Amino acid sequence: MTGKMKFLGLACLAGLVSALGFAPLGAWPLTILAFAALLWLLEGAASLRSALARGWWFGLGQFVLGLNWIATAFTYQAAMPAWLGWVAVVLLSLYLAIYPAVAAGLAWRWHGGNRIALVLLLAAAWILGEWLRATMFTGFPWNPAGVIWVGVGGVAALATWVGTYGLGAVTILAAGALFLLARRHWRSGAALAVPILIVSLLPYPLRVTEPAGPPRPLVRIVQPDIGQQDKWQPGFEQANFERFVRLSGTPGAEPRLLLWPESATPYYLAFDPEARRRIAALLGPNDLLLLGADEPILDDHGRSIAAYNSAFVLRPDGSLAGRYDKAHLVPYGEYLPMRPLLTAIGLSRLAPGDLDFRDGPGPRTLDLGPFGRAGLQICYEIVFSGETVDEAHRPDFLFNPSNDSWFGAWGPPQQLAQARLRAIEEGLPVIRATPTGISAVIAADGAVEQSLPLGAEGAIETRLPRAAAPTLFAGWGNLLPFGFALLLVAAAIAVRRKAR
């Protein structure tokens, strides 16, 4: 093996190790160690091309392992062999690795041989790279580097000031501390390491305490444990509905907000009053039900030409009180780019059906009366930092109905971790309802108050957590991580000038 190939192999190995810090493993110190290895590899790069290659191989290793759940998703498409799922994981990773490569190239190009500047510039460039990954070609911001800090003392709280992408820069700075200490830059390494270490040992500082007063609204989350293989099978409709009814419980004297998962019913609710009345029969006179259902788009002849992935508010009388249409759709899952070509070669879609979904207008707040104001984010929309809340109508909580039943063992805990980051950033509780787990009640500080594990049937009945005051991020959004990036760049320039 040539020296060049050896270093590229080490970069890929470091990327694989970095993915161990993501859920469900949560070995976050290994992620920091892996990024320190990336800095060492970049320091030794002899050219811009070499730095780009090392960043790309690092990204490839991280995404191939971290996104392994996508391979499981392909097993639910009968027209595709199971091995094709791993082909999809690799192909997607080949593309996503471009963004770490860009970050690595920018840092190497401008660090001027200064190790401290290399650390600061990679942290700044990582913010840019992750934001681009979340934006380009509809975006895929899954597993940002900052998500490793969820649950690690007070570090995740920094997201209220610098957002998720800024928290990724904190990951690079922590790795930079190790890198600099290993290179005997004692003062600079300690200057980075000590503050992060102290914050990681502190409890979360912004816990929302419940003041005295009337009790918070009662919510009940239903997790029916209906797998993707049974969701659309003929003959399963009645059994699935009966499971939802049983888990929804019996109405009591106190009003309840029932929460069902994404695509909980196969009925087209806007066009089927009988189905609405049938479902509404399980509600008490003051209850409301939030549930997911597809909604067809009809042409002038009444034929379905597309659909929305929607969430509806259902009243006890069977009428609809509100609706949200999913805005961030999943390419190749909910719509098919180049459909005629890919259909011809058998790659029609991952999800059942022949119609593409269309995107909705974006974040919307629904007024649920005594239950407060709900912001809706369907399934993987919750992973888009800074794009989850209608800023003009701040909600009291975010509801994230999802269908994680085809995400394997790694996808659901990863999505839960990212939902916790949204709670921290916005200072809002997040309620997740999924068919097979992980359903959860997440407080405004990101703490999981209650949850149902993968593969479990059950329900959570609890009080709706209280929202915190709007955070700095809630007001400024992703301007904050870009401001943080500019500060890092300015610090790198100052370091280089001082070294001269």
- Domains defined along the chain, listed by start: 3-205+478-499 (no CATH), 218-463 (3.60.110.10)
Tell which residue, 305, 278, 277, 276, has the closest CA to residue 293. 276
User: Is residue 153 within 8 Å of 203, Cβ to Cβ?
Assistant: yes
Q: Residue 26 — φ and ψ, nearest 5°?
A: 65, 25
Confidence of residue 345 (pLDDT cuts 50, 70, 90): very low
Count the Cβ atoms, other than its own, within 10 Å of residue 67: 23
Lowest mean pLDDT among 219-228, 345-354, 452-461: 345-354
What is the average pLDDT across 476-487? 95
Average pLDDT over residues 115-140: 95
- Which range, 49-58, 297-306, 400-409, is most confident? 49-58
Q: In the predicted model, what is the mean pLDDT of residues 437-448?
A: 94
Task: Using a pLDDT cut of 90, give the percent of the chain over it.
Answer: 62
pLDDT higher than 70, residue 353? no
What value does the mean pLDDT take over residues 73-77? 63
Residue 230 confidence (pLDDT): 58
Q: What is the mean pLDDT of residues 18-43?
A: 96
Average pLDDT value over all residues in the chain: 88
Q: In the structure, what pLDDT confidence band is assigned to residue 231 with cuts at 50, 70 and 90?
A: low
Of 247, 255, 217, 220, residue with least CA distance to 450: 220
12 pLDDT more than 90: yes
Q: Which whole number is the average pLDDT over 432-459?
A: 94
- Considering only 185-189, 305-309, 330-334, 343-347, which range has the smallest mean pLDDT? 343-347
Q: Beta-carbon neighbour count of residue 483 at 10 Å?
A: 16
Range of weakest confidence among 45-49, 200-204, 253-257, 371-375: 200-204
Mean pLDDT, rounded, for 145-151:
94
Show the tokens assigned to 301.
Answer: 């002849």
Place 463 in a pLDDT band, splitting at 50, 70 and 90.
very high
Mean pLDDT over 114-135 rounds to: 96
Report the catalytic residues: 262, 326, 379
